[in-house]
Chain A
Amino acid sequence: MAVIETRNVVKRYETGGETLEALKGIDFAVEPGEFVSIMGPSGSGKTTLLNLLGLLDDPSEGQVLLDGEDVTGLSDREQTTARKRTIGFVFQNFYLIPTLTAKENVEIPGLFDRDPTLEDRSVDLLTRMGLGERLDHKPDELSGGQKQRVAIARSLVNEPRVVLADEPTGNLDRETGRQILSEFVSVTERDVAVIAVTHDELVNDYVDRTVRLVDGLMGEDAPTARGAARAAKRDAGEEGADPVDEEVAEAVEDALAGDEDTTADGEDALTGDEETASDREEGDES
């Protein structure tokens, strides 16, 4: 069953008497352990969709389902509780609290819970992210990549089912971006779904599938090479899948790493692609 799902979701904004339709009916579902990217030009409604998935905003029409449960129209308190239990957030600007240490930042989501295991969990997460030596460092003593790892650890501390990432590599250089994306891949290996909204084509080297949004409509839903490999393997049978998975993933990763330049150069071509996609959508509607 999909861990998070939208059914014919529409979002409208009222601006100065004008109604702007940011999302025009989106059906979208993510399975546990899936790594999905949502791509699209500015103003295509990516962030709006992410906000709806993250229960930060309510859709004007349609439903959002979390673990099969309709969470549309919940009160602020209920939404906050659901968010805390099920969803982790990672932001482009990291948004760490500058006055708190790395460890305290990771503990933030459970700060008011008086949970005795919280500290161990956060230390464990940071250690796994390779930040075991930097537990007591403040954010301004950490590099961009380290900050984003702290943010990922924070998103995972409550053991969510879904991690929503808004431009997770947006403020990172390419190499650090790769490291962060492989962190996300290892997150999905723990059956946590990751949904990343991004402009960065690099992300597509790591995700299972890419969803394109154009003018509030969902475009093609393209499984990536990696995703196809994983899907094939999944079909081949659950048992003993993991080692193969690892191997395949690594192989794909290596292959993609070599392609880096090509991907970067291909950006202009991509924009062209998207326009075609949008044309096609409009054609479908009429």
Chain B
Amino acid sequence: MGWFYRRMPSLLMARRNLTRTKVRSVLAALGIVIGVIAIASLGMFGLTLRYSITESLGDIGNQVLVTPGEDSDGEITERQLREIQVAVGSDGTTVPQKTRVTTVSYGGGGGGARGGGGSQRRVVTGMDNPSLLYEAREGEIPQPFRSGALIGPQLAEERDLGVGDAISVNGSSKRVVAVLRGGQGFGFASPTTDIILPNRDFQTRGYSQVLVTAESSTAANETAVAIRQGLNGRRELVQVQDFSSVAESIGQTFQALNLFLIGIGSISLLVAGVSILNVMLMSTVERRQEIGVLRAVGFQKFDVLKIMLSEAVLLGVIGGVAGVVFSLVAGMVINHFIVGDAFLVFRPSNFLYIGLAFGFGVGTSLLSGLYPAWKAANERPVEALRS
């Protein structure tokens, strides 16, 4: 310790000066503590919120929807499907779908005593492997899917349908084998009011759309590009939509939210800065003669500046360290209640915010110390020594 102070005499002076007016120093550092906590924990809060929401959004970003393009015959052929499968590769899944508008009646056929009855013109979807996209809330999704019908949860509720009930599609009766689970994100596969039949129930040969699920949103984006390049030459045979841009804009929204929260936190640091400015100014006024003596015995202006700035920075570092400790505790509490795992606070991206808050804290102290230090350094020793 002695060695250290011999190397950094201005720190020694600064430390002794801060301990001279302990309560005042503690209060000034407390401002920084609060500021650092505000920035760090608001930043972590935003991050945790984002984490928990993206978790519940599910695989929004990694789906690609391929539909027939302007120059096609209105459908995707088997050959195009194979090309799409090649483009997707083995890491993703491909679900070709057929759609048709037809008459559906509920509670019609068989002995369906329950159900609201009535019929409507609506879209029904056909696919062979719905288990790749959906989960069943009730019943089970057959694999492979060869007969029966799957219905969305909202439709099941509206029409009071359940597993075993029958619906009539284009005149032929289908038994409901499963009610799908809803709320799995809001990508292309959200089965709220869908009716899903096996592809073989459709007469058409081509597909009306192909839903590709990739491993991640980046992979989805790459797949989309690959499909466009592979299938579309001069003519637009297929149209490819992917959600990566949507995922990106959701990410940006959260970034903005985070910045906003940090902005609020910064205001408290600003207040802390003013309080340090005040403390340092008082200190320079009180120690005017002392500083005059230092100048008289041969301290250059810069030396005085160094001592005063060390004091401000020391306040900032002490406040910053305390703030970081408290923020980690606060972050653990936030993570415990939002995500359910307190130790998620040690995610690397959280440390970005903690480092940012610490840096802001020390920076604020340094900035607030500048004016008082400058003032002290530029005081003429003759004036300062006149008592």
The residues of A with any CB-CB pair to B shorter than 8 Å are 51, 54, 56-57, 76-77, 80-81, 83-85, 88-89, 91, 93, 95, 97-100, 108-109, 111-112, 114, 154-155, 158
| Known contacts A99-B19, A99-B20, A112-B9; A57 and B298 CB within 8 A of each other | no
Chain B residues with CB below 8 A from A80, complex form: 295, 298-301
One of B7, B13, B296 near A99 (C-beta < 8 A) = B13
3 shortest interchain CB distances as A-B pairs: A84-B298, A99-B16, A109-B297
Rounded to whole angstroms, the CA-CA distance of A204 and B382 in the bound complex is 26
Do residues A76 and B301 form an inter-chain contact, with CB atoms below 8 A? Answer: yes
Most buried by B among A84, A108, A111: A111
Do residues B297 and A108 form an inter-chain contact, with CB atoms below 8 A? Answer: yes
Q: Tell me the smallest distance from the CB of A238 to a CB of chain B, in Å.
A: 33
Tell me the residues in window 282-305 of chain B with beta carbons closer than 8 Å to chain A beta carbons: 289-290, 292-301, 303
Rounded to whole angstroms, the CA-CA distance of A259 and B385 in the bound complex is 34
Could you show 12 A-B contacts with beta carbons less than 8 Å apart? A56-B381, A56-B382, A77-B300, A83-B297, A85-B298, A89-B293, A89-B297, A95-B289, A95-B292, A99-B16, A111-B9, A112-B10
Chain B residues with CB below 8 A from A100, complex form: 13, 16
Rounded to whole angstroms, the CA-CA distance of A89 and B292 in the bound complex is 11
Q: Tell me the smallest distance from the CB of B335 to a CB of chain A, in Å.
A: 43
Range of interface residues on B (Cβ < 8 Å): 20 to 34
Do residues A154 and B297 form an inter-chain contact, with CB atoms below 8 A? Answer: yes
Q: Tell me the smallest distance from the CB of B134 to a CB of chain A, in Å.
A: 73
Rounded to whole angstroms, the CA-CA distance of A81 and B381 in the bound complex is 14
One of B292, B299, B380 near A112 (C-beta < 8 A) = B299
Decide if B229 is an interface residue (CB 8 Å cutoff).
no
Chain A residues with CB below 8 A from B382, complex form: 51, 56-57
Decide if B17 is an interface residue (CB 8 Å cutoff).
yes
Do residues A95 and B290 form an inter-chain contact, with CB atoms below 8 A? Answer: yes
Binary contact readout B265-293 vs A (1 if CB under 8 angstroms, 0 otherwise) = 00000000000000000000000011011
Chain B residues with CB below 8 A from A91, complex form: 293, 385
Decide if B203 is an interface residue (CB 8 Å cutoff).
no
Do residues B294 and A108 form an inter-chain contact, with CB atoms below 8 A? Answer: yes
Q: Tell me the smallest distance from the CB of B202 to a CB of chain A, in Å.
A: 89
Closest to B293 in A: A95
Closest to A52 in B: B382
Q: Tell me the smallest distance from the CB of A1 to a CB of chain B, in Å.
A: 23
Most buried by A among B16, B17, B20: B16
Q: Tell me the smallest distance from the CB of A219 to a CB of chain B, in Å.
A: 24
Binary contact readout B138-150 vs A (1 if CB under 8 angstroms, 0 otherwise) = 0000000000000
Binary contact readout B352-384 vs A (1 if CB under 8 angstroms, 0 otherwise) = 000000000000000000000000000011100
| Known contacts A56-B381, A56-B385, A57-B382; A98 and B297 CB within 8 A of each other | no
Do residues A83 and B298 form an inter-chain contact, with CB atoms below 8 A? Answer: yes
Do residues B293 and A98 form an inter-chain contact, with CB atoms below 8 A? Answer: no
Do residues B20 and A98 form an inter-chain contact, with CB atoms below 8 A? Answer: yes
Tell me the residues in window 238-287 of chain B with beta carbons closer than 8 Å to chain A beta carbons: none
One of A84, A85, A93, A112 near B387 (C-beta < 8 A) = A93
Rounded to whole angstroms, the CA-CA distance of A54 and B303 in the bound complex is 19
Most buried by B among A51, A77, A80: A80
Chain B residues with CB below 8 A from A158, complex form: 298
Q: Tell me the smallest distance from the CB of A49 to a CB of chain B, in Å.
A: 12
Closest to A86 in B: B298
Chain B residues with CB below 8 A from A112, complex form: 9-10, 299, 303
Closest to A82 in B: B298
Tell me the residues in window 314-371 of chain B with beta carbons closer than 8 Å to chain A beta carbons: none
Rounded to whole angstroms, the CA-CA distance of A134 and B300 in the bound complex is 29
Chain B residues with CB below 8 A from A89, complex form: 293, 296-297
Q: Tell me the smallest distance from the CB of B218 to a CB of chain A, in Å.
A: 56
Rounded to whole angstroms, the CA-CA distance of A109 and B296 in the bound complex is 9
Q: Tell me the smallest distance from the CB of B183 to a CB of chain A, in Å.
A: 65
Chain B residues with CB below 8 A from A95, complex form: 289-290, 292-293, 385
Rounded to whole angstroms, the CA-CA distance of A108 and B303 in the bound complex is 12
Closest to B302 in A: A77
Q: Tell me the smallest distance from the CB of A14 to a CB of chain B, in Å.
A: 14
Rounded to whole angstroms, the CA-CA distance of A158 and B297 in the bound complex is 9
Most buried by A among B6, B17, B294, B296: B296
Chain B residues with CB below 8 A from A88, complex form: 297
Binary contact readout B1-36 vs A (1 if CB under 8 angstroms, 0 otherwise) = 000001101100100110110000000000000000
Q: Tell me the smallest distance from the CB of A159 to a CB of chain B, in Å.
A: 12
Q: Tell me the smallest distance from the CB of A168 to a CB of chain B, in Å.
A: 14
Closest to B10 in A: A112
Do residues B298 and A109 form an inter-chain contact, with CB atoms below 8 A? Answer: yes
Chain A residues with CB below 8 A from B387, complex form: 93
Other 9 A-B pairs with CB < 8 A, given A89-B293, A114-B7: A51-B382, A56-B382, A84-B298, A99-B20, A100-B16, A109-B297, A112-B303, A154-B297, A158-B298
Q: Tell me the smallest distance from the CB of A123 to a CB of chain B, in Å.
A: 15
Chain A residues with CB below 8 A from B298, complex form: 80-81, 83-85, 109, 158
Chain A residues with CB below 8 A from B303, complex form: 112
Q: Tell me the smallest distance from the CB of B17 to a CB of chain A, in Å.
A: 6
Q: Tell me the smallest distance from the CB of B233 to a CB of chain A, in Å.
A: 77
Rounded to whole angstroms, the CA-CA distance of A54 and B20 in the bound complex is 30
Chain B residues with CB below 8 A from A51, complex form: 382
Chain A residues with CB below 8 A from B385, complex form: 56, 91, 95
Binary contact readout B189-209 vs A (1 if CB under 8 angstroms, 0 otherwise) = 000000000000000000000
Q: Tell me the smallest distance from the CB of B300 to a CB of chain A, in Å.
A: 5
Closest to A110 in B: B298
Closest to A155 in B: B297
Rounded to whole angstroms, the CA-CA distance of A86 and B222 in the bound complex is 77
Q: Tell me the smallest distance from the CB of A171 to a CB of chain B, in Å.
A: 11
One of B10, B13, B297 near A84 (C-beta < 8 A) = B297
